[in-house]
A and B are shown apart, each in its own frame.
Chain A
Amino acid sequence: AQSVTQLGSHVSVSEGALVLLRCNYSSSVPPYLFWYVQYPNQGLQLLLKYTTGATLVKGINGFEAEFKKSETSFHLTKPSAHMSDAAEYFCAVINTGGFKTIFGAGTRLFVKA
């Protein structure tokens, strides 16, 4: 069965600093991996996804993530944090049947001025 673990329920960075949000997955089949962002009182928005092909995936708002099979990781990064990046971020994997997205517990990102 697939599962996702996000390391760190809260991450705080200064504006302009590197953002690194960690995600490890467990899957018995080649995984399809996602990062979503959720702003307060809103639904989820897809940042990026990995299905096949290039392991470095670029998403919206300057975010990117690298699929590392040997480390079973899919960490999210952004070179320079903006105040507007403050939100909840969810890593997710899709199940083998392709109909259920399994989410991690989320990481809340705080950006300090």
Chain B
Amino acid sequence: EPEVTQTPSHQVTQMGQEVILRCVPISNHLYFYWYRQILGQKVEFLVSFYNNEISEKSEIFDDQFSVERPDGSNFTLKIRSTKLEDSAMYFCASSEEGESNQPQHFGDGTRLSIL
């Protein structure tokens, strides 16, 4: 069964450094998402992406965050200048369509630790 893959599985970065989290969505999917889960808290929506542009973003997704689909397969999340509170598990997801009855399929996540 096709799956969403994320790399790396664990990223350790110094505060203030830039970090790029990578995702390869399922190949025929058109909608892409990033979520995060701070330890002990709920999973939170960050951003959705369709047709090479952001379709929705949350308040968390400020100017420090950006997303890109640099080629036909990768979908990246960049944090420009990391803060301690960016430490979390980041999940990428994709879906065939954006409609409400279409499930989002998730990767295994990247654990980001900011020192």
A, B from the same assembly = no
Q: Could you tell me which B residues sit within 8 Å of A by CB distance?
A: none
